[in-house]
Structure 1
Amino acid sequence: MRKTRHVDDVQNKEFIADAEKLNPIIIYNEPEIPEIHNKSLEFPPIEEVVFCGDGVRTSNWQTICAVGLWVRSILDSTYYIMTAGHCYDNGPFNPDGSVDFYHFPWMGSVVNDVAPGFIGPMAQPNLSVVDKAFILKQNDNIRVTASVRNTDDQNYPELMIYGSAVIDTVGAIVCKSGYFSHVQCGRILEIGAQFNFLKDGEVVEYSGLTKVEKIAFQGDSGGPVYGYELSLLPGIIIAGILSSGNLDIVNDWNVFTPIDMLITSDIEIITVGNL
């Protein structure tokens, strides 16, 4: 069916012909454009979400570890990242002995891996008993979260921390999230294991650890170790943080520090219930 244009309509053509004889002048009003007095618009800073399992690095790139848990001080509500204490060892050291750490997310994540944001300093930890340390959140643009990064999985890119529990059953499956090898899972091999760590030429022996099948490499140290059930997903239960993430391809196991050795009465784990 052929459509008739408005200019071809008989009545329209007669009207246009008569109007043209009068040489009409089209009068229109220009819209008023408001004058902008404040020409410098300020936008709120973009917050940088630091997920548990993301990487953290030092300013000289000598150390890359993983974010273990976000924790909060009971006394003054200050936020910290808990990670492995041996991540402190290579410096560079500030005048007060602390080491600055920067966000270093997984490759391909939204935040630029080349220019990660400053998080804050890690005070010198006491590594004589347990391999843990705290990074103070000093940057207001860093956002605390109760999620573990799992962005290799399109169905569950974030795993929500519901709580924590000691998982002490040999054969139980646990997983870890870390910078180098992302999310890997394996079975618990031994409860109450020992691990020797070389520090400043001396051997430091840790006991009470949990040995697990190989789930981590260098760059994963400090990452969260967790258990899950399909009925809880995307919720998970934190079991501890990774102590050894070495590159040793001979040893087919890792160890992690159980959660009851990490949490003291003056801090609390950030979960979806208390964020």
Structure 2
Amino acid sequence: MNFGPYSLYPWNSTTPSALIGNMKYYILEPIDFGLIYIENEDIITVPSVRNTDSELYKELQIDDIISVSSNGAHLCCSGFSSHIRCGYVVALNGFTSDEEYYNDILVVNNLLSVQGDSGGPLFYYKNLTHVSLNGILTGALYNFDDNINAITGVITINSILNLFKTLEVVTVSLNPVS
């Protein structure tokens, strides 16, 4: 595992725009998850999902977190390589296994993602500018011949928060209507 340093890359770029920091914590079981410590004081966390291919909605504000509760739910991912792609939940209790590690607590989605998308947020559109955060993309399998049939594994936000009790998801705070 590469513990850093990690840099911020704009979409469609091979040149980093800013150093973020080093990975301070990483686990492989029961979920594949790491935390990067933001060492660069010029980087400010923003509760949003990148959508810079859109002319009007370049950032989608994260209002809240929500658990996916049914097959067929529509979810989208913002990945570095694929940008925004959407699909449907096909299983709520997925798992992955190789000869060394076993990961569970996965939601399986049929959206197409490619190498470089891992770590991207999975979300549900509430409207054109606001989303609910559902999880983090952990990996994918797909048929290279038809570029359609895809299986994407998603680590749920709840599974992350259950393992890391001190973490908080940064969300926008909406002002109540008077």
State the TM-score bracket (shorter-chain normalisation): 0.7 to 0.9
Q: How does 1:252-271 map to 2 (within 5 A)?
A: 252-263=150-161, 264-271=164-171
Q: How does 1:184-195 map to 2 (within 5 A)?
A: 184-195=85-96
Q: How does 1:10-25 map to 2 (within 5 A)?
A: none
After TM superposition, the structure 1 stretch with the greater mean CA deviation from structure 2, 153-162 or 183-192, is 153-162
Q: Is the 8 A contact 1:161 1:236 kept in 2?
A: yes
Q: Distance in 1 between matches of 2:6 and 2:141?
A: 20
Tell me whether 1:143 sits opposite 2:143 in the alignment.
Answer: no
Q: Which has the larger radius of gyration?
A: 1
Cα deviation, 1:68-88, whole Å, max 9, x if unaligned, reads: xxxxxxxxxxxxxxxxxxxxx
Which protein has the bigger strand share?
2
Q: Distance in 2 between matches of 1:128 and 1:215?
A: 25
After TM superposition, the structure 1 stretch with the greater mean CA deviation from structure 2, 260-269 or 162-171, is 260-269
Structure 1 unaligned regions, length at least 5: 1-88, 92-97
Sequence identity (%): 28
Coordinate RMSD, CA, aligned:
2.0
Q: Distance in 1 between matches of 2:52 and 2:123?
A: 16
Tell me whether 1:238 sits opposite 2:120 in the alignment.
Answer: no
Q: Is the 8 A contact 2:31 2:105 kept in 1?
A: no
Q: Is the 8 A contact 1:210 1:256 kept in 2?
A: yes
- The 1:190–1:136 alpha-carbon spacing in structure 2 relative to 1, beyond 3 Å, is same
Cα deviation, 1:100-134, whole Å, max 9, x if unaligned, reads: 111112026xxxx5243111110241212111110
What residue in structure 2 maps to residue 106 of structure 1?
11
- The 1:248–1:133 alpha-carbon spacing in structure 2 relative to 1, beyond 3 Å, is farther
- What is the one-letter code of the residue matched to 2:165? S
Q: Distance in 1 between matches of 2:81 and 2:140?
A: 9
- The 1:115–1:195 alpha-carbon spacing in structure 2 relative to 1, beyond 3 Å, is closer
TM-aligned CA deviation for residue 248 of structure 1 = 5.9
Q: How does 1:103-182 map to 2 (within 5 A)?
A: 103-107=8-12, 113-182=14-83
TM-aligned CA deviation for residue 216 of structure 1 = 1.1
Which protein has the bigger helix share?
1
Cα deviation, 1:123-171, whole Å, max 9, x if unaligned, reads: 2412121111100000011121111111112232110000101012101
SS of corresponding position for 2:22: strand
SS of corresponding position for 2:100: strand
Q: Distance in 2 between matches of 1:132 and 1:248?
A: 26
SS of corresponding position for 2:116: coil
Q: Distance in 2 between matches of 1:167 and 1:248?
A: 25
Q: Distance in 1 between matches of 2:109 and 2:16?
A: 34
Q: Is the 8 A contact 1:162 1:236 kept in 2?
A: yes
- The 1:167–1:117 alpha-carbon spacing in structure 2 relative to 1, beyond 3 Å, is same
What residue in structure 2 maps to residue 70 of structure 1?
none
Q: Distance in 1 between matches of 2:154 and 2:57?
A: 24
- What is the one-letter code of the residue matched to 2:23? M
TM-aligned CA deviation for residue 266 of structure 1 = 0.7
Structure 2 unaligned regions, length at least 5: none
